[in-house]
Amino acid sequence: MFELRTWKEKLGFFALLAVIAFFLFFPVYWALSSAFKANGELYRMDPTFVPHQPYLGHFVSALTEGPLMLQLGNSLVTSTASALLNAVLAAFAGYSFAKFDYPVKKPLMLLILSAQMFPFGVLLISIYPMLQSVGLLDTRVGLTISYIVFALPVSTYMMYSYFKQVPNELIEAARVDGASNFKIFRRIVMPISLPAFITVALYAFMWSWNDLLYSMTLITSDDKRTVGPGLLLRYINENNADWGGAMAASFIVAAPIILIFAVLQKQFIGGVTSGAVK
């Protein structure tokens, strides 16, 4: 760690932090400020940094008009399903790579991780005809599967890194007592790996919740749209640009992620950092 010895070094360091914080948080503040401005104030030539009179009309309109609540429900279903299934599959795969030996283990793991080298669009080009051929295009199930395909490689490696730290002596002791491999995994390994499991589930949930490309391409029915395409098509399109409504709806959409992370941040940070040290 570096030390700040003189007052000039300290001043420069805190000035740099202030600049970084400004670039990080000012757009968030401006979006929140715009959400509370009436259209007359929002579109005036000389912008105001603080709303003259807080206006809740954009929030009321977002909640009561249009399909935002339906889209939130669709996002909640697909994101939760993909998060749980992704975490379960990643736990099984990561445990297999960490605690079992078989001839194709390393090549198989490299093959899984190599999927992350391809851009979103390349994977989507492959996923689209596959879902179409089995009748899962424009379905929540098909969208959930596409989310799992993208998130599973990273999730598997995260679980693998965590399981590598589980002492082999603990597993061998349970095996001597007559426990099967599945019972060891379920009764011993998973309870002490809960932080990593939560981290993987949160990672998949946030990726699914914030997705735009996959849901825009794989879902065409209005009643199945998720929040990403829903916000874009309703508030910002070739015929309309409702910035106040878009900002208000964006904060409504962000609320579940903020709430979940606030509740589970301890487990999330523990799961992220646990695989970094031996």
Beta carbons of 235 and 31 less than 8 angstroms apart: no
In this structure, how many other beta carbons lie within 10 angstroms of the beta carbon of residue 120?
13
Q: Which fold has domain 66-273?
A: MetI-like fold (1.10.3720)
Q: Which two tokens stand for residue 232?
A: 């874009």
Residue 23: what pLDDT? 93
Residues 250, 244: Cα–Cα separation, whole Å: 10
Residue 214: what pLDDT? 92
Q: Which two tokens stand for residue 142?
A: 């098909």
Beta carbons of 213 and 121 less than 8 angstroms apart: yes
Please give the full DSSP string across 93-156, using - where no structure is assigned: HHHHHHH---TTHHHHHHHHHHGGGS-HHHHHHHHHHHHHHTT-TTSHHHHHHHHHHHHHHHHH
Residue 176: what pLDDT? 87
Say if residue 76 is exposed, middle or buried (CB neighbours under 10 Å; 0-12, 13-18, 19+). middle
Residue span(s) of the chain under CATH 1.10.3720.10 come to 66-273
- pTM of this structure: 0.83
Residue 78: what pLDDT? 95
Residues 199, 205: Cα–Cα separation, whole Å: 10
Beta carbons of 31 and 250 less than 8 angstroms apart: yes
Residues 146, 131: Cα–Cα separation, whole Å: 9
Written as tens digits, the pLDDT of the chain (278 aa) is: 557 677 777 788 889 999 999 999 999 999 999 889 888 888 888 888 888 888 888 899 888 888 889 999 999 999 999 999 999 999 999 999 988 888 888 888 888 888 777 787 888 888 999 999 999 999 999 999 999 988 999 999 989 988 988 888 888 888 888 888 889 888 888 888 888 898 899 889 998 999 999 999 999 998 999 998 988 888 887 777 888 888 999 999 988 888 887 777 676 666 555 544 44
Beta carbons of 86 and 200 less than 8 angstroms apart: yes
